[in-house]
Structure 1
Amino acid sequence: MEQEDTVVLYPAPGIGHIVSMVELAKLLQLHAHSITILLTTGLLDHPSIDTYIHRISISHPSIFFHRLPHTSLSTTTTVSMAAKAFNFININTPNVATTLTQITKSTNIKAFIIDLFCTSAMEPASSLGIPVYYFFTSGAAVLSLFSYFPKLHQETHVSFKDMVGVELRVPGNAPLRAVNMPEPMLKRDDPAYWDMLEFCTRLPEARGIIVNSFEELEPVAVDAVADGACFPDAKRVPGVYYIGPLIAEPQQSDVTTESKQCLSWLDQQPSRSVVYLCFGSRGSFSVSQLREIANGLEKSGHSFLWVVKRPTQDEKTKQIHDTTTTTTTMDFDLSSVLPSGFIERTKDRGLVVSSWAPQVEVLSRGSVAAFVSHCGWNSVLEGVVAGVPMVAWPLYAEQHVNMHVMVGEMKVAVAVEQREEDGFVSGEEVEKRVREVMESEEIRERSLKLKEMALAAVGEFGSSKTALANLVQSWTTHV
Structure 2
Amino acid sequence: MVQLAKLFVQHGVAVTVALVEPPVKSLDFSAVVARAAASNPSVTFHVLPPPPPPPASTADSSSSDIIIVKMFQFLAAMNASLRDFLVSRMPSVDALVLDMFCADALDVAAELELPAYTFFPSGAGDLAVFLNMPGTRASMKTSFKELGDAVLSFPGAPPLKASDLPPDCSSDSERCKAFLRMFERMPEANGILVNTFESLETCAVRALREGLCLSDRATPPVYCIGPLVSGGGAEKEHECLRWLDAQPDNSVVFLSFGSMGTFPKKQLEQIAIGLEKSGQRFLWVVRTPPGDDHKFGEPLPEPDLEELLPDGFLERTKERGLVVKSWAPQVDVLHHRATGAFVTHCGWNSTLEGITAGQPLLCWPLYAEQRLNKVFIVEEMKLGVEMRGYNEELVTEEEVETKVRWVMESDDGNKLRQRVAAAKHAGAEALKDGGSSHTAFVHFLEDVDSSVHS
> In 1, Cα distance between the equivalents of 2:25 and 2:332?
27
Amino acid at match of 2:77: I
The correspondence for 2:238, drawn from 260, 270, 273, is: 260
Mapped to 2, the partners of 1:310 and 1:378 lie a distance apart of 22
Query: Aligned to 2:365, what secondary structure does the other structure show?
Result: coil
Residue 176 (structure 1) aligned to one of 145, 156, 160: 160
**SS class of match (2:89):** helix
Aligned match for 1:35, one of 5, 9, 15: 15
Return the alpha-carbon distance in structure 2 between the equivalents of residues 333 and 166 of structure 1. Answer: 41
* TM-superposed deviation, 1:62: 3.2
Cα distance between partner residues in 1 of 2:26 and 2:196: 29
Provide the residue aligned with 2:314 in structure 1. 343
What RMSD, in angstroms, separates the aligned Cα atoms of the two structures? Answer: 1.9
C-alpha displacement at 1:51, in angstroms?
2.3
Give 1:419 shift.
5.8
Distance 1:44 1:275, change over 3 A: farther
Q: How far 1:252 sits from its partner (Å)?
A: 4.6
- Gapped regions of structure 2 (runs ≥ 5): none
What amino acid is aligned across from residue 208 of structure 1 in structure 2?
Answer: G
Q: Deviations over 1:227-286 (max 9, x none)?
A: 11111246x111111110001222553x2xxx5210010010011111000001111111
- Which residue is 2:86 aligned to? 100
Q: CA deviation at 1:139?
A: 0.3
> What is the distance in 1 between the residues matched to 2:276 and 2:296?
30
Look up the match of 1:86. 72
User: CA–CA distance in 1 between the matches of 2:149 and 2:417?
Assistant: 33
Distance 1:420 1:396, change over 3 A: closer
Matched, 1:306 2:284: yes
Deviation of 1:159 (Å):
3.0
One-letter amino acid of the counterpart of residue 32, structure 1 = G
Question: Is the counterpart of residue 438 in structure 1 residue 408 in structure 2?
Answer: yes
Q: Within 2, Cα distance between the matches of 1:277 and 1:167?
A: 30
Corresponding residue SS for 2:375: helix
| Deviation (angstroms), 1:101 | 1.8
Cα deviation digits, residues 138-174 of structure 1 (max 9, x gap): 0000000111011221132333233223222111112
Distance 1:240 1:85 in 2: 27
After superposition, the C-alpha distances for 1:354-381 in whole angstroms (9 at most, x for unaligned) are 1000011101111111000000000000
Relative to structure 2, which stretch is displaced further, 94-103 or 283-292?
94-103
* Cα displacement (A) at 1:102: 1.8
Counterpart pick for 2:178 among 179, 192, 195: 195
2:352 pairs, out of 358, 381, 386, with 381
- Among 387, 390, 395, the alignment partner of 2:366 is 395
Larger displacement relative to structure 2 (156-165 or 241-250): 156-165
CA 1:201 to 1:181, structure 2 compared with 1: closer, same or farther past 3 Å? same
Partner residue of 1:207 out of 167, 190, 203: 190
Q: Does 1:427 align with 2:397?
A: yes
> How far did residue 85 of structure 1 move?
1.3
One-letter identity of the residue aligned with 1:435: R
Deviates more, 1:382-391 or 1:401-410: 401-410
State the Cα distance separating 1:448 from its structure 2 match. 0.8
SS in 2 for 1:32: coil
The whole-number CA distance in structure 1 between the counterparts of 2:324 and 2:339 is: 16
Aligned mates of 1:165, 1:383 — CA distance in 2: 29
Task: Name the CA distance, whole Å, in 2 between partners of 1:232 and 1:45.
Answer: 42
Number of residues of Structure 1 aligned to a counterpart in Structure 2: 442
Worse-superposed segment, 80-89 or 367-376? 80-89
* Aligned residue identity for 1:466: T
Q: Indicate whether 1:241 and 2:223 are aligned.
A: yes
Deviation at 1:44, TM superposition (A): 5.4
Partner of 1:24: 4
Indicate the residue corresponding to 1:447 in structure 2. Answer: 420
Shift of 1:322: 1.7
Normalising by structure 1, we get a TM-score of 0.88
CA contact (8 A) 1:282 1:320 kept: no
Q: Which TM-score applies when normalising by structure 2? A: 0.93
Q: Give 2:441's aligned amino acid.
A: L
Instruction: Give the alignment of 1:54-133 within 5 angstroms.
Output: 54-71=34-51, 72=53, 74=56, 76=59, 77=61, 79-104=65-90, 107-133=91-117
Match of 2:137 in 1: 153
Q: Distance in 2 between matches of 1:279 and 1:181?
A: 19
| Alpha-carbon separation, structure 2, partners of 1:467 and 1:50 | 34
Going from structure 1 to structure 2, the CA distance change for 1:186 and 1:380 (only over 3 Å counts) comes to: same
Distance 2:363 2:204 in 1: 19
Amino acid at match of 2:252: V
Q: CA deviation at 1:183?
A: 2.7
| SS class of match (1:478) | helix
Deviation at 1:321, TM superposition (A): 4.0
Between 1:461-470 and 1:242-251, the stretch displaced more is 242-251
- Calculate percent identity across the aligned residue pairs: 40
| C-alpha distance in 2 between matches for 1:279 and 1:420 | 15
How far residue 83 of structure 1 moved from its aligned partner, in angstroms, is 1.5
Deviations 1:300-334, CA, capped at 9 Å, x for gaps: 110000000111347xxxx99425x3xx1x33311
Q: Distance in 2 between matches of 1:365 and 1:41?
A: 35
Separation in structure 2 between the aligned mates of residue 251 and residue 404 of structure 1, nearest angstrom: 31
Secondary structure in structure 2 of the residue aligned to 1:70? coil
User: Whole-Å Cα distance in 2 between the matches of residues 407 and 426 of structure 1?
Assistant: 20
1: distance between equivalents of 2:400 and 2:25? Answer: 36
> Structure 2 CA distance, aligned partners of 1:442 and 1:44?
47
2-side partners of 1:463 and 1:244: how far apart? 9
Residue 405 of structure 1, CA deviation: 1.4
1:62 and 1:420 map into 2 onto residues whose CA distance is: 45
Q: Residues 267-306 of structure 1: matches in 2 within 5 Å?
A: 267-306=245-284
Contact 1:284 1:320 in 2 (8 A): no
Does the CA-based 8 Å contact 2:195-2:224 persist in structure 1? yes
